[in-house]
Structure 1
Amino acid sequence: MKFRRRYIAPAAGAVALAMALTGCGTSSTPSSGKTSITVSIDTGLTAAAKQQIDQRITAFEKVNPDITVKTQPYDWVATTFTAQLAGGTLPDVFTVPFTDGRSLIAQKQVADISSLVDKLPYVKDFNPSVVTNVKSTSGQIEGVPISAYGQALYYNRQLFTQAGLDPNKPPTTWAEVRSDAKAIATTTKEAGFSTMTQSNTGGWSLVTLANAFGGRAETGTGKKVKATVDTKPFEKALETLHDMRWTDDSMGGDFLYDWNAINQDFAAGKIGMYISGGGNYTSLVQQNAIDPKTVGQTVIPLSGKNAGALGGGAIAFVRAGASSAVQSASVKWIDYYYMQQQYKKSASVSAAKIAIASKQPVGVPQVPVFDKKTYEQTLAWTNSYVNVPLKQFAPYTDKEFSQQIVSEPGTQTQALYGKLDPVVQAVLTDKNADIPTLLKQANGTIQTMLDSGTGN
């Protein structure tokens, strides 16, 4: 699964750059006495987005003259991250999804920065459900949760209008999603609804759908964790996809989408609706140059007992093996670049001004890392700088806090998603796919994996 949340595949040039900048993962303090750190930035950024980052680096170095910041293009991708981790090609500061946090900490694959995090002014103000993803078994906070999200339903307002639908009244049930998708496909000849299916995103999307029907992919914890994907909510989720694909013919012709490709086609006006993280609008602007007028966002329809919207987020870690000087400089960067704008007025306003100058989005809806009060305070500070179409996000923001947020599966998360990718692909490419049998087989494979603890 690609992650920007970043939920993100490094090119060969990125690995080469990592080695050039970090000496195969080892930063140093040059003879000038300055500490040099390499920090991750998303790949494929527009010139304006890169300019914004450069401006913030300049501002950071001005107040921290003993630190030099270099950037390394980096995207977290499940299928390549392990090799980067083992090969020492990660930047000093890198991001991963919540699902990887506790396992990286337990296996000591990231630096223990808990003593530095403990000194941050907001360390006791984190949302408890968020900070748990960066805690060791002894309760130490060894990473910094920088963002959180709840899954949302994105839709193309232009395609809605062309199909005779009201873009201000997006679907609120799965029956309406299906009906609207068929109308879009029939009228515009574009995909009415699409879903991701590979690089772990198929499993991620399927679990999201199953959560919306009241399902859970796992139950229990530790050695008692059980796979539960061979259940009615998962069947309902797959049946919904099957019917849109084969009965309605409303899902277009691409059934091998990953995170990057589906964003690209949505921005290009080729997809009417799809599911992604609630804060994904920023990526659509920075990487896909989407026309803001076309974007609509609403909450995922929920149906049945225990239904909820899958949620997750991003963690900033420091590379294992980093020196104490690099760890200290890295935490200062994490605090400055990711966190200050979420709790400090001057930083929040400054970041908003830089974003505005670089024509980048300000005010994108998100799940707060801190409590709701702090989040609403930051919105008030930057209200005059907001440049995103808030009215088009209203169907999401009006209801996001009233929806139950369901945490991602807690054990072997990415591996579990990967085992479900072929199930989604099978349903979308084989009209006669036996859904209960596919889920039963997948459940057995996942349970074996959970029991062995190998992720294979």
Structure 2
Amino acid sequence: MVSAVGVSAAACSDDSASSVTLKLVAADYGDPGGENGSQKYWDALARDFTQLNSGITIDVTVLSWNDVDAKVAEMVKAGDPPDIAQIGSYASYADQDLLYSAGDLLPIPVQADFLPTLAAAGEVHRMQYGLPFAASTRLLFYNKDLFTEAGLDPDKPPESWNELRDAARALKATGVKHPYGLPLGPEEAPAETMMWMLGDGGGYTDTGGSYIIDSADNIEAFNWLRDNLINADLTGPNPEKTDRQQVFDAFTRGEVGMLNGHPTLMQQAAREDVKYGTTELPGRGGAASSTMGVADWIMAFKKNGHRKEIGEFLAFAFSEKNHYDFVSRYDLLPVTTSGSERMRGDSEQRKLRKFLEQLPTAEFYPVGKVSWGEVSSDIKQRIGEVVAPDGDPARVLGSIQRAAETAESSSGS
């Protein structure tokens, strides 16, 4: 029973026996104010929890992704953080000793249910502070009708970079505006960059956690991208200024032949009756060895001292039923083993299985590094330089690497 899980949550000396109101700030995954807005989910969850735990009230504020991280940062700076925040990053707060750890909050069975790769991604200084809340992975999407018109087999998507290039050439020959959609604008730059790095066996960090942004593999990947797609005019105009949503919208208008996408694009394409296929991300010699994973996080601030009550609510939120209810309504992936097993057996979620299969081995941003926020921002501002007429990946990646090393040294992470 869920209530039993709550009772087993860890207690400590700063817990209050009196009635408690927990402030929760969360991100909106739906249409604000619409039928699928996240406010309705959280209100229902809070109501159900309070019925089982009459001494605890949950005060929920749901904000758009454009505002939620900045709002929580303002609250923290003002000395009035929420008890619980469901946002995009946690490392800087953990580094300032503002957060409870997972072990402070959750009983062992709840902690053990997190997928190991995601639990590890939530660590700062080898302690888990970020609780994964929802996840996604990436696949290559392609427009089957455009493939057919270009004389390409719609059931045989490209498996390697060379096959992707050849398909892009065929699409261009039939007048497709964006044979390959390349969003290197600020919104998506870190993700698109990472996917191309993974395609050549590279990435942002090595197995020891050190930045390797200017590694030989990464430079080679961007040299190939520049020479084979960008300079060949197979990506459409101004990729350095193109954001992810622009490419998604163009895909649903039939203007993009191929692009890297996450599960949300399925909903958007279905609304516009776009016939699409998905496949593993292409790599240099075949399918990439791994894909990129993205996780959003939930965390608990220590300021108000409600550890026991926060732990009870989070254990309730991560119960199989409640967690699955959230991720399934937004085409997201569960972050727990129990939720993943349920999704594999859910016939209504067949379209997500390709994404789900990749989650255990996906590579994530190095979000546990305190320096990552600064490095990510630098990538957003600088990576577009590789697509300039005289773009030099070695120079650009080398500059970003040096800045990353400086940020790493300053942060002490």
TM-score, structure 1 as length reference: 0.69
- 1:240 paired residue number: 225
- 1:408 paired residue number: 365
Whole-Å Cα distance in 2 between the matches of residues 83 and 34 of structure 1? 23
Whole-Å Cα distance in 1 between the matches of residues 296 and 253 of structure 2? 27
Structure 1 residue 161: deviation in Å?
A: 3.8
Aligned length: 388
Does the residue aligned with 1:95 lie in a helix, a strand or coil? strand
The correspondence of residues 247-262 of structure 1 with structure 2, limited to 5 A, is: 247-262=232-247
- 1:379 paired residue number: 344
Conserved? CA contact 1:162–1:187, under 8 Å: yes
- 1:159 paired residue number: 146
Whole-Å Cα distance in 1 between the matches of residues 355 and 296 of structure 2? 20
Conserved? CA contact 1:155–1:272, under 8 Å: yes
Match of 1:129 among 114, 117, 120: 117
Match of 2:196 among 189, 209, 214: 209
- 1:453 paired residue number: 411
Does the residue aligned with 1:171 lie in a helix, a strand or coil? coil
Structure 2, unaligned runs of 5 or more: 1-15
Structure 1 residue 209: deviation in Å?
A: 0.8
Deviation sequence 1:327-371 (CA, Å, 0-9, x none): 55554554445x32xx35xx578x38x97xxxx56xx474x5334
Deviation sequence 1:21-64 (CA, Å, 0-9, x none): xxxxxxxx9x9x572533313266162212x7526623540452
Opposite residue 297 of structure 1, the aligned amino acid is T
Task: Report the more deviating stretch, 72-81 or 179-188.
Answer: 72-81
Conserved? CA contact 1:192–1:272, under 8 Å: yes
Whole-Å Cα distance in 2 between the matches of residues 124 and 446 of structure 1? 33
Structure 1 residue 184: deviation in Å?
A: 2.9
1:39 aligns with 2:5: no
Structure 1 residue 315: deviation in Å?
A: 1.7
Conserved? CA contact 2:206–2:212, under 8 Å: yes
Whole-Å Cα distance in 1 between the matches of residues 256 and 344 of structure 2? 31
Structure 1 residue 236: deviation in Å?
A: 2.3
Query: Percent same amino acid at aligned positions?
Result: 18
Deviation sequence 1:278-320 (CA, Å, 0-9, x none): xx3247638x984365443221123369943233422211345
Conserved? CA contact 2:195–2:291, under 8 Å: yes
Q: Mark the CA change 1:178 to 1:450 in structure 2 (over 3 Å): closer, same or farther.
A: same
Q: Mark the CA change 1:151 to 1:414 in structure 2 (over 3 Å): closer, same or farther.
A: farther
Match of 1:442 among 389, 400, 407: 400
Conserved? CA contact 2:134–2:332, under 8 Å: no
Q: Mark the CA change 1:432 to 1:59 in structure 2 (over 3 Å): closer, same or farther.
A: closer
Q: Mark the CA change 1:294 to 1:81 in structure 2 (over 3 Å): closer, same or farther.
A: farther
- 1:301 paired residue number: 282
Deviation sequence 1:365-415 (CA, Å, 0-9, x none): 74x5334x76234432x33xx1x563xx67x459737x9533434642333
Match of 1:271 among 256, 279, 296: 256
Does the residue aligned with 1:317 lie in a helix, a strand or coil? strand
Conserved? CA contact 1:171–1:180, under 8 Å: yes
- 1:150 paired residue number: 137
Does the residue aligned with 1:196 lie in a helix, a strand or coil? coil
Opposite residue 446 of structure 1, the aligned amino acid is A
Opposite residue 341 of structure 2, the aligned amino acid is E
Structure 1 residue 153: deviation in Å?
A: 1.8
Whole-Å Cα distance in 2 between the matches of residues 128 and 273 of structure 1? 32
Does the residue aligned with 2:201 lie in a helix, a strand or coil? coil
TM-score, structure 2 as length reference: 0.75
Q: Mark the CA change 1:257 to 1:328 in structure 2 (over 3 Å): closer, same or farther.
A: farther
Opposite residue 449 of structure 1, the aligned amino acid is A
Structure 1, unaligned runs of 5 or more: 1-28
Structure 1 residue 193: deviation in Å?
A: 1.4
Structure 1 residue 173: deviation in Å?
A: 0.9
The correspondence of residues 87-106 of structure 1 with structure 2, limited to 5 A, is: 87=78, 92-97=83-88, 100-106=89-95
Whole-Å Cα distance in 2 between the matches of residues 37 and 415 of structure 1? 28
Conserved? CA contact 2:135–2:293, under 8 Å: yes
